[in-house]
Structure 1
Amino acid sequence: MSKTLFERLGGRNGISKIVDDTVSEHMTNPNVNARFLPFLERPEHLAIIKQHTVDFFVTGSGGPNVYKGKDMVTAHTGMNISPAEYMHVMDDIVTALDKNAINEDTKKDVLAILWSLKGMIIAK
């Protein structure tokens, strides 16, 4: 029997590390950091966003159903995220996956999920 995506990402701890690394990448990426740097002044809000992101990926990758946050459209409405920004965010996620030694097949599975969410996030 093959492992779930949740297991291949290292379970909740692995996903948490990937989310932390992704946010660090966003903070230094000049193409998207204007959206993320303000959260440095609101660390409690950033912690909530990270927690929701971890819970979303835990649930979406076959782990326990823990996500209780907003749906993607509601969460991103009013942000007016451009297609280019979305691609930069995806690049940052790939960098975080690489930092965490996630194999190519698992990266492809994560990217497929992210690609499927694109229409719910861009220009909302």
Structure 2
Amino acid sequence: MTDSAARGLSRVTLYERLGGGAGLRTLVDGIVAAHLENPTIQHRFTPYLDRPDRVEEIKRHTCAYFSEGSGGPDTYRGRSMTEAHRGMLVTDAEYTAAADDIIGTLARHGHDAETRAEVRDILEAIRGEIVGV
């Protein structure tokens, strides 16, 4: 590989590696589906099944959050992670289950170990903003 090719690869953002806006939406749809099947956390999501407008809103916010955090063009305009989860008292086990769903969805969509590790690092960085608040 030439030096210029190597430099080009280093500029590929996580957002681009995740497939841009369409890729993020596909991932978010898969993540929500995984959460609904995960016995550790499905109780957090099943109440929304009869509110498709609310599910869509959550998905839009999640896509924007992932976009902004991964180098994409969208700006997340929702509440902070702490405010969005305040009062939910998410346990460490629930957070781990949700993170595992996210990483598993990435794997099912063919994202490599490096990309999954980068996303895992991001998830671990915000764990304290969500667990127990």
**2:71 matched to which residue of 1?**
62
Residue among 48, 57, 71 paired with 2:57: 48
1:48 & 1:34 partners in 2: Cα distance? 19
Q: CA RMSD in A?
A: 0.7
Instruction: Give 5+ residue unaligned stretches, structure 1.
Output: none
**2:80 matched to which residue of 1?**
71
Displacement of 1:85 after TM fit?
Answer: 0.3
**1:88 matched to which residue of 2?**
97
Percent identity of equivalent pairs: 41
- Point out 4+ residue stretches in structure 1 off by more than 2 angstroms: none
1:105 & 1:82 partners in 2: Cα distance? 27
Displacement of 1:59 after TM fit?
Answer: 0.5
What TM-score do the two structures reach when normalised by structure 1? 0.97
2:118 aligned with 1:117: no
Residue among 10, 13, 23 paired with 1:4: 13
Specify the code of the residue in structure 1 equivalent to 2:46.
L
Of structures 1 and 2, the one with the larger relative CO (CA 8 A, separation 6+) is: 1
What TM-score do the two structures reach when normalised by structure 2? 0.91
